[in-house]
Structure 1
Amino acid sequence: MDQGEGLNTLGKKLAATRRRLTLLALGRAWWPAFVFIAGFLAIALAGGFDRLSSFLAALILPLLILTGIGLCWMSWRRYRRPAEADVVRALDGQSELRPVSSLTDRPADPAAGPASLWRAHRARLVAEIGNLRLPRLAAEWAALDPYRVRYIVPVVVVALALVAGPAAPGRILRALSPDLGALAGADKMVVEAWVTPPEHTGRAPVFLQAGMKDVRVPVGSEITLRTQAPSAPKLILRGDKRKTMRFAQTPEGAFEARARIEGDTRLTVNWWGERARWNFIVLPDEVPLIAFDSPPAPGQRDQVEFKWKAGDDYGVTAVELAIRLRVPHPAAPEAEDRVPVPMPGAPGARELSATAQLDLTRHRWAGLPVDVRLVARDGAGQEGFSESMPFILPEKLFLDPLAQAAQEARVTVLREPRPYAEMPRNDQALTDGAINTAATGRLDAAPEGVRQAALMLDSVTYRGEMFINDLGAFMGLRMALGTLQTAGTKAEADAVEPLLWAIALKLEHGSVADARARLEAARAALERALREGAPEEEIRRLMEAFRDAANEYLAAKMAEAMAGGLDAPEQQQDGQAQAGGDSLGGQDFEDMLNALQDLTETGAAEQARQLLSDITNLLENLEFQRGQGQGDGMPGEQADGEDSDLPPEEQELTDAMRRLSEILREQRQLNDDTLAQQRGEQSGQSGQQPGEGTDQGEGTGEGQEQDGGPGQGTGTPGAGRGGSLAERQAELGRLVEELARRGGNSGQTGEEGAGQPGAGLDEDALRAILEAQRRAERALQGGNEGRAVMDQERATQMLSELSREMAEQIDQMRANRLGEQGQNSNDPLGRPLTGAGNDGQGVEIPSESERQRAKDILDELRRRYGEAEDEEEREYLRRLLERF
């Protein structure tokens, strides 16, 4: 080996020896810290810290950190870097020549002879360097680590890491970052949270649990968080923007926070660290859709009629008709009026379809060409629009000249969109003796339309006390003129609208228009309350108002008819005028109103609204005409002796129908009395208890004597209601049996069946009715009112079906006969004329027992809804209550 190569080899061996000595020095100094850290990692990877309580883990970590810092500081202090002499000594000790240190020697005599000896000596040393070996230091390591801990601990740590797998980093991280808030009691902190979706969505609240991921909620939902803590936690919302807020303390000592979720949000609750976290993904709220199913068209009574459909993902809450002038006023080119459109069912339905009938004759643009479009609004306030359609708003026809003038002045004021001009300020108005002349010239500051209306009213009422017969209308017009002259704003001028409208109607239609307006207002208020689910007390109050308005309207129509030359209608025993003759008797009308009230009380809003509409249509179609028989009378009433002019077949069916209708009415009353006795209440028989007798028959009246002519059978159902319930049921059974005996052959006509009140009746149906009545009689005798009610209901149902079939036969016969005679076949209510015994079958009126069952079912559903704990069950019961 030459000298250069030997020195290079020596340098490498010196460096390697230095590293081994340094490692030995590190082991001597740092072995306590190494063992401590390795042991910590082994315990963490094995999950030892995860098994500790939060408090204990948080308490141990500072001790471990302090211990580790202390050991590291001690190791640092103990560490001594190996000296160069130690490195040389470790290599020189292997040879007696001490080649490493000897190479540093220098010759004492530089002469030529000794120099050759010195070169030979250095060559020998270089050759010896090749024989040197790196020190193993086995003895030193054995003395330092006799149990090979330096090998065992790393192997154990690596093995535990392999066993832990993907969970290894998390375990180490949790061991290094325990919940320090546990030292302050934060580990026992429980965060209760729930999300309340917007009310219009109809969704149930969502109670949040720890660990829930990607909670989907409607946009606009409100989250409520409540917890117990020594101090106020912090709520952090991370969405489009970061928002931080503190919990507020409640009177109970808890802490509560509320936030609205408008977009995808990550929510965390922090108090000595993160206490809760949820991610929310919002569900978008779509804009509602709406369209015309049929274009607007003029309907009956100058109404606007059209079909429409709408839909929304969470339900439509309101529908309006937006109206714009086709040629707008230059001063208000964007003017638009919106008219509410009645919605079928309760607000919030997702799919809607209906036919709307709107009275827009009072609108300020009535009679003008307009563009109309539908507007649907959802619970979030979003609006969807239909396509625009051209239309001419219908206007009310006024034939009275003075009514026309009032209407013209009214629309002139309403159609004026411009405001009043600024009036000059009179600073001297409040000084002594000053006259505020500006206050007397307010009409000069009014827009042109108001001034024109004032001039019209002034002209119409000039010396009106001499030529206007209706002094009330004259004073009303002068009052409207005074209002326009003193108004200082457009709103004050518009206040004359209701006055001028009422005057025009009164001049054109008289007092019936007022009664009809009250009826329509009461109907609209009651329908709105039913649709919006108003409180029971308000619905009861509105129901009473509708009842009063309906009776007032009937009285006004009757007075109008009498003033036109018709005779007053006969009065039934209950005091109600028989406005519709046989088709709408006073008791029938009261039954309809009572049924409507019961439907509102039981919460059957949809059925109540339908019956309300039927009653209103019946009243509005009511017409009083002269009788078509001998003499004048109410329509539907037959003059004396008219029955004798009927064909024999129709006469027989009519007489049988009358008796059958009387039996049906009495059977219904007996059903209600039986149900009342079952509940422990008083029966409805004129304030008498069941079983009390009476000397006067309720139904005994004209044409009801004790012999058996047509319409005069013995034992008239209304007669003799006294006695027990069983006796009254037996009497009804006897009457049905008599009907069956007289009309024994179904459909019998001619001489064989003529003159028999029961001719044409279905004998099998009568026998089934009789059997049900006899079972009810036996049940009443045995004190089993529940069984009796069931049998009575069956008998009532069969009587009703048989009565309806008879009425259809009579309708057909009468329609054919009147068609041949060229007479009108409609009654005053706009319905086809029915038999004399029609009992208001066109409108289904639930019986007392049916209404009571509906109330009981509703109460039971409400009770179960209040006691239900399962969320799915509560949602199911809620949907049932809505449908009910």
Structure 2
Amino acid sequence: MAHRNEADNALKRLGWVLGLTRLGLIAEQVTQAFWPLWSLVFTVLAGLMLGVQDVLPLEAVWVLGVIVVAGGLAALVTGMRRFALPGRNEALARLDATLPGRPIQALMDYPVIGTNDSGSQALWRAHQARMAARTRAARPVEPDLRISRLDPFGLRYVAVLALAVALLFGSFARVGSVAGMAPGSGAALAGGPTWEGWIEPPAYTGLPALYLNDQTDRAMSLPEGSRVLVRLYGEVGALTLAETVSGRMGEVPSATEPEQDFTIRQSGKLEIAGPNGRAWEIVMTPDRAPQVRLTGSADVSARGEMSLPFAASDDFGVTGGQAVISLDLEAVDRRYGLARAPEPRPDVKVELPLPITGDRADFEETLIEDFSKHPWAHLPVTVSLTVQDAAGLTGSAPDAAMALPARRFFDLLAAVIVELRRDLLWSRENAGRVAQLMRAVSYRPEEGVFQKETDYLRLRTILRRLEAFDARGLSAGNRDEIAEALWDLALKLEEGDLGNALERLRRAQERLSEAMKNGASDAEIAQLMQELREATEDYMRELAQRSPQEGEEGADQQLSENTMQLNQDDLQRMMDRIQELMEQGRMAEAQQALDELRQMMENMRVTQGQGQPSPGEQAMEGLAETLREQQGLSDEAFRELQEQFNPDAQSGQSSENQGYSGGEGRGEAHDGTGQGRGQGEEGNADGQQPGKGALEDRQRALREELNRQMGNLPGQGTPEGDAAREALGQADEAMEGAEDALRGNDLAEAIDRQAEAMDALREGMRSLGEAMAQQERPGQQGTAENQGNARDPLGRSAGNRGPAGTEEGLLQGEDVYRQARRLLDEIRRRAGETERPEVERNYLERLLDRF
């Protein structure tokens, strides 16, 4: 029996392990049998904590209570039927299943045979000892609480989640309120009647809701439109509600109604009479209408965008706004194209910008819109600003009278075209007058009104279309089409397509002078001054590339002793002074300074062309001539394309316009014969006009000339020179494409490829200029004789001063001090002469300060 005692001792050692395993089995049974019951309890408890019983009608609470009780009883009965208390043997079996070889069962077994055999007994005892040793590794078995097969929809998790939400946002105090809803509840009768109330301000105010039971102050200030909800519990009639804040008319609910809901529309009294009653004096805060005002005058940018600053405010925030622009017809100068009655046009309405972030109760913003293309541009208008709030109230600013800000055109021809466009949009009855004026403007194009023939051709095309439309009856769609074409032409004339620095400089000076006469704004002045600065820099760069070389001493000696030397900084200071005078309104002085600057630039232009040109200059001049010829070919191709779509264009052209071809050679035909188109027609023996075959042959000849120029191009091996050759190679490919298109009678494609060729030519000329500048820099290291003969961009000798960056003295010789003294005296004398221009005297004073 010794082996039996050993087995019993081993089982006794499993006591605590076996107990924990049995508790796990009980937990499994409870979970599987009663999960519907505790899920239902969690759900009901969560609803009570969140106050669902206070929102639902009393009858619904009773019905739900009956359903919950019935469901709970059913779940309890079902669970008790399924529940079976696990015994010791079940715990042993569960624990034995987790051990290898089931040692617990082995310890509980008895030998069937061999009880009297000592060998069998010894073997059995060894087996029992080995199984007892295995039981020492036994550990409590974890219960299996998974019931997904019983709850495939996860309802238990929903119940747990609802309870967690209730613990976070609910209150256990609300659970007790359901007890007072039971019929004939003794506790409710003992506690007496009670009440609850809530006040919800309008959502747009952003104010929190108030629990009326917590409001102990007798006076309350509430915004207009606040909602009041009061519930009376207990015996009907024990509590009554009296109020004078809703202003309700007609059918009013009884004062003993258990639930009452109304909105505050006026100041008054709110009282709950009865046990534990309370009264309040309500002061209604009316919603104020929003306000808006202009904070400054309208301004216009250089691109024509109007900027109108305004400020708006509201007690709870502005939700939207609108600017309405109306034509002030009485203030319009009814002359010329505006003499006719205008066609009806709706007022211009634009939304006011609101802050994207931040508070909208009080803010400042700027309305930015571009009305340059509107027919009312620069005409008298009235601007009305209106804003709204969330309550539907509106506020407006007094109407502001102004001329509608828009883009201004400083090119005279562009300004004329814009005015004609406005007259056409003002009334379609002005079509005849507009066409007549367009004919007058284009009467003598060779006299310099048009910078390019393409501009003239575009204007004549628009003119013929306008006359054709007007003959058939000008519709609104055709009118708008013509107006858009006029606008594009005016933009092209204003902005221009400047191919060289000198033309761009002159144009910038002319536009700035015109802006002074017309009283331009600060933004427009800043843009025009920036264009002048850029044009001046480009022109100075071109002069530096074309500076006279050695061998021009004779020309140098002919210069006046009053000749001045100016660098780029001096020119920039002069332009800064011009801009400063314009911004201060001193237009006369600014115009005088601009004239002086123009004169100085003209002097630079005259002196820079002397002497024999270098190979680089010859190449540059050749490319410039190629560019001009390519422009002429493009202009003639454009005219041929125009005649395809309008065969009568040539016959309808006035005789005074014959032979005009724009470009550099106005008054000459593109074929170089010196005859106009009308003359060319007479000169052809067969009576045919010069056809596209002539264009394609001339295009081929121009491409061959470009290839010849590329062979003589300087700067080979340098990055700039290689870039110039690459750009000219692209121009060659574009010319070849234009030639093929001309042979294929595809004029539109030919014009596009010719435009690409001109762009590539300009890029090649720019790279060539940089290559020439790079070649001139190493030349400064030459002999002193060459350096002494170097010329500045003004075409004058550098004198006896040493080259920049060297240690060479300014004045070499035995009489150096006497010469320096004489030079300073001369500078002082000239600086004291008041009749000299202020710009020159300022420059002389800077020289004195420096030396």
Give your verdict on TM over 0.5.
no
| TM-score of the superposed pair, with normalisation by structure 1 | 0.27
Whose RCO is larger (CA < 8 A, sep 6+)?
2
